Structures are given as C-alpha cells and as structure tokens.
Amino acid sequence: MAGSSTKWVELPVADGTTMRAYVARPQARPVRAGLLVFQEAFGVNVHIRDVTDRFAREGFLALAPELFHRTAPGFEGAYNNFESVMPHIRALKDADLEADVRASYSWVLENQDKAGTSVACVGFCMGGRVSFLTNSILPVKAAVSFYGGGIAPNPLGPGLLGRAGNLHAPQLLFWGGLDKHLGPEQTEAVAEALRKAGKPFVNVDFSDADHGFFCDARPNYNPAAARQAWALTNAFLNCHLGI
C-alpha cells in the first residue's frame, strides 16, 4: 500500500481565529476523496495523527483540525487525566464548531487533486459528535461517529437529536456495549431520532467493547472490534463516496 505525506497547515476561521490542522495526503496515487477526521477530547495527538495517516494510505486527503484552538492550541492530553480536558470541552460552543468544520471543509475542497472530489467525515468520542454535527450543516457524502458522546442529551448538554432531520448523508454509528459513559438509553435515542427522521443510518454495537475501543493507546483498546470497525468504515465510505 502506498504511503502518505503529512504536514501542518493553518486555516482561517470565520470568527477571526486561526486553526491549525494536521493533513495527510496519499503518495504515488491520486486523491480518491476528501475526509475530515475529528479528534477525541485528547487533541490531535499521536493516535489521531496515525489514524489520519491510515486514511491517507487508503487514498483520502485527510485533515484533522485542532478543535481546541481557541483555548489550547497544540493541546495533547493524557488518557489517564480526563479532568485536564474538561475545561476545553466546556468551552466548546456549537457555533464555534460549525465555523471550524466549515473552514476545514473549504480547505479540503480547495486542495483536492481534481474538481468535484467528494468529502466525508469521521470522528472519535467528542469528534463523533462533531461528525454528526457536520453532517447536519454540510453536504458531506457520508459521516461516521465512533462512540459519539453528546449526540443524545446528557448532563453536559441538550444533544443534537433536533438536527436529525437535517442530515445530508448516511450516518454510521459505532458503540461499545460495555460503555458506561454512553448507556443504551443514549444510543437507542440516537437510533430512534434517525428512524423517525427517515434518515439512512447503520448502527453497530460491539457487545464486548468499551468506550474508546478503537484507540490502541487506551486501556480499553479492543483489537477485534477495532479491526472490524476499520473495515466497516472503509466499506461505508467507499460505498457512499462512489470510490
């Protein structure tokens, strides 16, 4: 499989801020499609950069924006210190996130290899929520959410289920059956909202996986679930992007 070339870029955002983003582009092959990769709460860290590189090797122009750029540019939190990320999560506003994803989407469109390249999005944990939000405001062709906390209402906010009717593209949702952070009342609420809105979606529950099961840097890493989720993600993207 061909490798990838990587770099950091700075993107102007509509609110006047500047956002850094990590970019990976396939080498020795044309870009098949654009992909926005949305971080966990721990930043655009080694894991997220590795995932972005993996997507580039699959042929995507993949961009991972730093969503904490207003409060902590360059932030990379420790997986065993969730308290350190909470101030940055609480500071995030949906209006700011919308500006960030629009800037990211525009950059991918402007830097693709050929006009008309389709764009999709994928996100992990906090980024899973951002992927759902992106699907509600931009004409992406597919959206993937790994254990997206905050799509359904929770103690931190009202959620995004009111946007279900606005989704532009099919949505793939991954959950861990052992995830105590996102119990069945939340995951079922997401599926029911999409069902009522008549939106196409795929709902995958790995019964023996916990929150963060895809991340090989976390104690909850589940190799079997991660391998299957990777294959399903690529099949889903290829199908709906027509590549």
Question: Which stretch of DSSP H or E encloses residue 238?
Answer: helix 223-241
Specify the pairing of strand 171-176 against strand 4-12.
unpaired
Task: For residue 16, report the phi and psi dihedrals to the nearest 5 degrees.
Answer: 95, -5
36: number of Cβ within 10 Å: 30
Choice among 47, 69, 88, 211 that is catalytic: 211
Q: Note if 53 is an active site residue.
A: no
Choice among 47, 69, 100, 179 that is catalytic: 179
Q: Note if 211 is an active site residue.
A: yes
Contact assessment for residue 197 and residue 165, using Cβ atoms and an 8 Å cutoff: yes
User: Measured between alpha carbons, how far is 213 from 236 in angstroms, rounded to an integer?
Assistant: 19
Q: Note if 88 is an active site residue.
A: no
DSSP per-residue letters across 52-117: HHHHHHTTEEEEEE-TTTTT-TT-B--TT-GGGTHHHHHH--HHHHHHHHHHHHHHHHHTSSSTT-
Residues 6+ apart with CB under 8 A from 80: none
User: Measured between alpha carbons, how far is 78 from 233 in angstroms, rounded to an integer?
Assistant: 26
Choice among 53, 69, 125, 215 that is catalytic: 125
Of 72, 73, 71, 132, the C-alpha closest to 101 is: 132
Please give the torsion angle defined by the CA atoms of residues 14, 104, 64 and 118, in that order, rounded to the nearest 10 degrees. Answer: 170
Residue numbers annotated as active site: 125, 179, 211
